[in-house]
Structure formats: C-alpha cells, structure tokens
Amino acid sequence: MARTRIGLHIFIQNWRDSDASLPEKLRETVANQLTKVRTGRPCCGHPGQPGC
C-alpha cells in the first residue's frame, strides 16, 4: 500500500493561514503530528490546521 505524502508547501500554508497564536499553533502541530504517527495515516483528519 503506497502512502501519499502531503507537500511541505501545504504544511507551511496551513501554518501561515492560521489565525491562532504561536503557542496554539505549536500545540495543534504537535497534536496533529502525534495523531498521524498513532494512526499511521498521512493526514490527521484536520485539514487546514497547523501540522496537518
């Protein structure tokens, strides 16, 4: 089964477009990355959030 990779530009765009404060962006990034690792999926299920 091939894994699709979401480009770095999408990651950066989600980070840049978010209106959240820096601590909130960091929290969302960590939470979304942990969700991806835990589920083994290329997306955390929260498109548009930092870290997704």
User: How much is the pLDDT for 7?
Assistant: 75
> Domain locations in the chain?
20-52
User: How much is the pLDDT for 44?
Assistant: 82
Mean pLDDT by 10 residues, the chain (52 residues): 62 88 92 89 82 79
Which residues, including other chains, have CB under 8 Å from residue 14's CB and lie 6 or more apart? Answer: 47, 48, 49, 50, 51, 52
